[in-house]
Amino acid sequence: MTYLDIKLPASDDNSYALRDFAGERIVLYFYPKDNTSGCTLEAKDFTSLQREFLDKGYRIIGVSRDSIKSHKKFIDKQDLNLLLLSDEDELLVKAFDVLKEKSMYGKTYMGIERSTFILDEDGNTVKEYRKVKAKGHAETVLNDL
């Protein structure tokens, strides 16, 4: 099984594997946590630029380990227009190697390293951004396409 076959529940009440988007180009972004400052900034930026991404032929999909319930609250609270996948079992985050050891206040833990991957129509990664800073990231990705 490849990362294309990992099926995850989505914020639109469906479940998807990346294979389901064959023929489409995707901006797949991984973020640490719903409703946190950096993740909110990044999601709002992707939402505000979504028309430009679509005009260039790219669908935006966000992924975190949060539950669908959390994703729906995030979407409603922040007025987002994005498809968010819930990876509570850490299958896709591990497949893309974005689960990293982090530290905060002297404690170490495993968390998602903010990362974005550009996938072609066949699901191949054609560009990746790792250790991303939320501010201005969506615009950087858009300008690179």
Residue 39 annotated among the catalytic residues of the structure: yes
Q: H or E segment at 99?
A: strand 99-104
Residues 6+ away with beta carbon under 8 Å from 116: 27, 28, 29, 30, 128, 129, 132, 137, 141
User: Is residue 137 a contact partner of residue 128, using CB atoms and an 8 Å limit?
Assistant: no
What is the gyration radius of the CA atoms in the chain, in angstroms?
A: 14
Which is catalytic among the residues 39, 61, 68, 132? 39
- Residues marked active site are found at 39
